[in-house]
Amino acid sequence: MTDSDESVSEDERTDPAPEGDTHASDHDHDEHDHHEHDQHEHEGHEHSHHEHDLETLGIAILTVSSTRTREEDTAGDTIVAILEGEGHEIVTRDVVQDAYDSVQGTVDRFVNRSDVDAVVTTGGTGVTPDDVTVEAVEPLFEKELPGFGELFRRLSYEEVGTRAIATRATAGIADGVPVFCLPGSESAVRLGAEDIIAEVVGHLAGLARQT
């Protein structure tokens, strides 16, 4: 075999990559780059969205009840257990009667403490004449958080049905501090504290204190 024959044979044995394969490879590469770009952009957005979150908060708890004592305050105990379990610190706790001035004055005192990052109240959110927590606390809000009550009632509906409309659970920002007002029953407190407050309190407290 001559050199030229050998050269031709080698050329014949070398198959060039089909045009379609090259295009598919380029397309796959472009899709990979686009996916990586979207992923990095999403991660950057998530980081930016949560960069002000607080990990450990000082929590104030207020139980509103004309019949319970501190020793009988199972709803308050439930809030303590849930939020301490999330790594937060209970810096103050009190029990007051269902009286407008007592409730408003105590919450106002709580939000003005330098060691309080969030306030949770329990009791006084129903529809009986002595349920005055909502009326007492809402004037302190510079911003309301209507989504809290909406979500609480939606979750409550899954447990108690249409009776969920009887709760006026609410939340807002008072003097830069998130305040959450829950019903007085232990089951309602567990629902609100565990399924909502524990999930969002660090995020809301971080946002509310921005200047």
Quick: pLDDT tens for 27-49. 555 555 555 555 545 455 445 55
Which CATH number does the domain housing residue 150 bear?
3.40.980.10
Contact 198, 84 (CB under 8 A): no
Closest-CA residue to 64 (of 101, 111, 99)? 99
Within this chain, do residues 45 and 66 fall inside the same structural domain, yes or no? no
> Residue 34's domain spans which residues?
16-50
Closest-CA residue to 178 (of 150, 157, 199, 158)? 199
Largest CA distance in the chain: 110
The confidence band for 22, taking pLDDT boundaries of 50, 70 and 90, is low
Question: How far apart are alpha carbons 116 and 181 in whole angstroms?
Answer: 16
Section 59-80 average pLDDT = 95
* pLDDT > 70 fraction of the chain, expressed in percent and rounded: 76
Within this chain, do residues 62 and 158 fall inside the same structural domain, yes or no? yes
Within this chain, do residues 38 and 104 fall inside the same structural domain, yes or no? no
Quick: pLDDT tens for 86-137. 999 999 999 999 999 999 999 999 999 999 999 999 999 999 999 999 999 9
Within this chain, do residues 79 and 130 fall inside the same structural domain, yes or no? yes
Q: Is 5 domain-assigned? A: no
Within this chain, do residues 120 and 28 fall inside the same structural domain, yes or no? no
Enter the pTM of the model. 0.77
